[in-house]
Amino acid sequence: MLGEYFRLALIAALGILLIAAAITDLRARIISNRLNLGVAALAPLWWIACGLPLWPGMAVQLLVGLLVFVLFAALFAFGMMGGGDVKLAGAMGTWLGPGYLFLSYFLLAVVAGAVVGVIAMVLRARGRRDYIPFGPMLAAAGIAVLLWGDRIGPWVLRRFTG
């Protein structure tokens, strides 16, 4: 029972950090390294609370985070994302690991980003040149997966993979 409360506390802490990241990205166009470090630092506690073995469980979680970071760093190199977004996505990769939860997270964030991108293109056609913060989409996708992961994962997969 205590383990379940600990897992819920970790999920709540992650949710708070994701909301803070979304708000700071909207307000200041930056996701602080402290917020990203907080998300990443909680991941090992999550792994322990979930009973993941050191090998291969925790190692795979770290590998997913690293691969996500590298993928998003390539997008950063092309000016498509900010550095804080890259770090947040990588940190979330360490939480969600391989499988449908991360795929759901990624697809939800991409779809939300595409919708906002279309809106931004319309605004740019009208002369506005605002930066599009991707942090709120990453945060919203993370919170959706945290709250409804067991239900949202299969739904997302059916909608986006046929």
What is the residue extent of each domain of the chain? 2-161
Mean pLDDT of the region 78-95? 92
Q: Sorting pLDDT into bands at 50, 70 and 90, what band is 25? A: very high
More confident position, 56 or 131: 56
Nearest to 47 by CA among 63, 37, 33, 59: 59
pLDDT of 103: 83
How far apart, in whole angstroms, are the C-alpha atoms of residue 48 and residue 132? 36
**pTM over the 0.95 mark:** no
Q: How is residue 42 written in tokens?
A: 């909680």
Contact 69, 90 (CB under 8 A): yes
Tens-place pLDDT, residues 89-113: 999 999 998 887 888 888 888 888 8
Tens-place pLDDT, residues 119-144: 877 877 776 666 678 899 999 999 98
CB neighbours (10 Å) of residue 141?
25
Residue matched to tokens 């819920």: 8
- H runs (alpha helix) in the chain: 2-28, 33-49, 59-77, 83-96, 100-125, 135-161
Nearest to 32 by CA among 42, 23, 24: 24
pLDDT reading at 28 higher than 70? yes
